[in-house]
């Protein structure tokens, strides 16, 4: 029973990721894609957590934390890029 629930939730996560993928591919604007990517990252966190439960291991908890940080940093970086055209501001560039 538990296993089936886990599988169903994983399936739902996968379907939602696929739909985010559709958004990622289709666009139409770049911010749409960035948001989709961010959501995919969060979905990945969920999937990793579910898989850890299925595999009965706690080795992947670091992965979950890291994904959270990276998804945040990545989205911020993208946003800054879209806003200013560059990620790390440098005096030399101005």
Partner 1 sequence: MSFLHLAILLPFMAAILIPLFYKQLKHIHTGWFVLVVPVILFVYFFQKIGPVSKGLNDYSTANWIPSLGIQFTVYADGLSLLFALLISGIGALVVLYSIYYLSKEKEELHKFYVYLLLFMGAMLGVVLSDNLVVLYTFWELTSLSSFLLIGYWHTREKSRYGAVKSMLITVFGGLSMLGGIILLYLITGTFSVREMVIQAAVIMEHPLFLAALILFLLGAFTKSAQFPFYIWLPDAMEAPTPVSAYLHSATMVKAGIYLTARFTPVFGLAPEWFWLVGGIGILTLAWGSFNAIKQTDLKAILAFSTVSQLGLIMSLLGAGAAALHFESLDDNLFTVAAVAAIFHLINHATFKGSLFMAAGIIDHETGTRDIRRLGGLMNFMPITFTIALIGAFSMAGIPPFNGFLSKEMFFTGMVNLLEFDLFNADTWGILFPVLAWVGSVFTFIYSMIIVFKPFTGKLQAEKLEKKPHEAPLGMLISPVILASLVILFGIFPNILAASIIEPAAASIYPFLLEDGEKFHVHISHWHGFSPELYMTIGVIVLGAILYATQSKWKRLFKLFPEKLTLNRLYDQSLHGLESGSEKIQKFYMTGFLRNYLGIIFIFTAALTGWALFAQSAFSFKAESNAPIGTYEVVLAVLMTAGVVTILFAKSRLTSIIALGSVGYGVALFFVLFRAPDLALTQLVIETITTALFLLCFYYLPELQKREKLAFKVNNLLISLGVGTVVTLIALSANSQRVSKTISEYFIENSYKEAGGKNMVNVILVDFRGFDTLFEITVLGIAALGIFAMVKLRMSRKEQS
The contact set with partner 1 (CB under 8 A) reads 7, 10-11, 14, 17-18, 21, 24-25, 27, 30, 33-34, 37, 40-41, 44, 47-48, 51-52, 55, 57, 59-60, 62-63, 66-67, 70, 73-74, 77-78, 81, 85-87
Q: What 3-state class would DSSP assign to 19?
A: helix
Rounded to a whole number of angstroms, the minimum distance from the CB of residue 5 to partner 1 is 14
CA distance 66 to 3: 26
Residue number with CB closer to partner 1 (5 or 57): 57
Residue where the block lists tokens 């959501």: 39
DSSP H helices in 1-94: 2-26, 30-55, 61-84
Closest among 52, 46, 38, 43 to 16, alpha carbons compared: 43
Rounded to a whole number of angstroms, the minimum distance from the CB of residue 51 to partner 1 is 6
Rounded to a whole number of angstroms, the minimum distance from the CB of residue 55 to partner 1 is 7
């Amino acid at each position: 029973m538990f296993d089936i629930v886990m599988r169903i939730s994983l399936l739902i996560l996968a379907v939602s990721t696929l739909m985010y993928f559709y958004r990622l591919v289709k666009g139409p604007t770049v911010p749409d894609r960035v948001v989709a990517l961010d959501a995919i990252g969060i979905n990945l966190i969920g999937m990793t957590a579910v898989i850890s439960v299925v595999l009965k291991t706690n080795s992947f908890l670091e992965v979950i934390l890291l994904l959270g940080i990276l998804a945040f940093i990545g989205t911020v970086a993208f946003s800054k890029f879209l806003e200013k055209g560059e990620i790390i501001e440098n005096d030399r560039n101005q």
